[in-house]
Amino acid sequence: MDYRYLVIAGNIILFSALFIIIGLMGNATIIVGAALSMLTLGIVIFVIGLTYTEPLGMLYRKYSDELNRVMIKLLEDLDLVGNHIVRTCKVDDQVFILFSKKDLECTNINVGIGLAGNNAYLALPVDELIVIGKQEFARGDLSEILRFYLVTYYGICRDVIVDTEGNEVKVSLIGLPRDMIRLVKQPINPLKILIPALTTISLKSDTIILNEELLEDTYIITLRRC
Amino acid sequence: MREFDASILMFTALMVVATISLILVGESRADVYLAISILIYFIYTFIDTRIRNRSNLKILDIVFVIVFTLIVAYRLALTLGFI
């Protein structure tokens, strides 16, 4: 969606509708005809503004869908679909997300697919997602950092609310766009990876996902510090 | 200026020029203005594919085809003396 086009189209539609009424009242068919032309233009620009997608948006969406299918297949093969644990691991300066059946120690984990004892795991590196402003983490609390990334930088929600109770951190993302809601419904979604990673960096402690839920356009994720 | 904006601007310019031309030749049938606008829309958006690549115009296409067909049917009925 591009609001600039919607505003322009709204003005064109309004003025052409006015001229159609004036033309009909004065029985001036030329004015009605010209206003109809402009109304067509307004409607076209309105639809363009309403359905506009960024140049690479479509490609990224399809690409992400394809990768997600591969990831889901991987999780199925590792028997991690359903009751798996998702946690973050911070080893030295590297952060990764770990999908496993049991809560594993981070010390023997390598990025990718692997076995820790008899437990299969999938570890995804997330450094690229949070690399933009690691210096930002030096100051500011968790809610400021999450707001900076999720609202200002990535623009994936309208507001972020953080509730901390003991070791539990509840993050609510309000006003998710339609595309994000579609992504959140998938087993591996960007929020499930990004929020724990940011929390880990900010709190300087590994986190484990306890619960996640989607209520209309609000996404709530509960994490526990390890 | 973004390339996409230039496409929209060109489309707008074409519509304005066509409308002014019809006014200058004294065309008084309102449906002709609408039909020409719809034709310009289809021709331009199929030549300059940037608009179609970045927006979804399927529903608009269907609506415009229906409107255009109705205009043609109306003119045909008038010519054949059905109306």
Task: Give how far A216 is from chain B: nearest CA, Å.
Answer: 25
pLDDT at B73: 93
Contact A41 B32 (CB under 8 A): no
pLDDT at B50: 84
Q: CB of A224 within 8 A of CB of A170?
A: no
Residue A174 vs residue A131, higher pLDDT: A174
Q: What is the mean pLDDT of residues A75-102?
A: 83
Report the candidate in B46, B44, B34 with the shortest Cα–Cα distance to residue B70: B34
pLDDT at A89: 86
Contact B22 A43 (CB under 8 A): no
Q: Between A and B, how many residue pairs show a Cβ–Cβ distance under 8 A? A: 74
Contact A44 B60 (CB under 8 A): yes
**β strands within A49-200, DSSP E:** 85-91, 94-100, 112-116, 119-125, 159-165, 168-174
ipTM of this predicted structure = 0.92
Chain A CB contacts of B30 under 8 Å are 23, 29, 32-33, 36
Q: How far apart are CA A194 and CA A7, in angstroms?
A: 34
Task: Give how far B9 is from chain A: nearest CA, Å.
Answer: 10
Q: How far apart are CA A10 and CA A42, in angstroms?
A: 7
**pLDDT category of residue B83 using cuts at 50, 70 and 90:** confident
The pLDDT tens digits for B9-43 are 999 999 999 999 999 998 888 899 999 999 999 99
The pLDDT tens digits for B58-75 are 999 999 999 999 999 999
pLDDT at B21: 93
**pLDDT category of residue A35 using cuts at 50, 70 and 90:** very high
**pLDDT category of residue A189 using cuts at 50, 70 and 90:** confident
Residues of chain A with a CB closer than 8 angstroms to some CB in chain B: 5, 23, 29-30, 32-34, 36-38, 40-41, 43-45, 47-48, 50-55
Per DSSP, B28 falls in state -
With a cut of 90, say whether residue A166 has pLDDT above it.
no
Q: How far apart are CA A163 and CA A170, in angstroms?
A: 5
Q: CB of B51 within 8 A of CB of B42?
A: no
Buried b (16+ CB within 10 A) or exposed e, A80-98: beeebbbbbbbeeeebbbb
Which of A29-33, A164-168, A201-205 shows the lowest per-residue confidence on average (mean pLDDT)? A201-205
Chain B CB contacts of A30 under 8 Å are 23, 26-28
Picking from A23, A36, A47, the nearest residue to B60 by CB comes out as: A47
Average pLDDT of chain A, as a whole number: 85
Six-digit token string for B76: 């045909």
Average pLDDT of chain B, as a whole number: 90
Task: Give how far A202 is from chain B: nearest CA, Å.
Answer: 38
Q: How far apart are CA A12 and CA A126, in angstroms?
A: 46
Q: How far apart are CA A212 and CA A207, in angstroms?
A: 14
Chain B CB contacts of A37 under 8 Å are 15, 18-19, 22, 33-34, 36-37
Q: What is the mean pLDDT of residues A31-54?
A: 91
Contact A41 B26 (CB under 8 A): no
The pLDDT tens digits for A93-148 are 778 888 888 888 888 788 888 888 888 888 888 877 776 555 555 556 888 888 88
Q: What is the mean pLDDT of residues A166-170?
A: 91
pTM for the full predicted model: 0.60
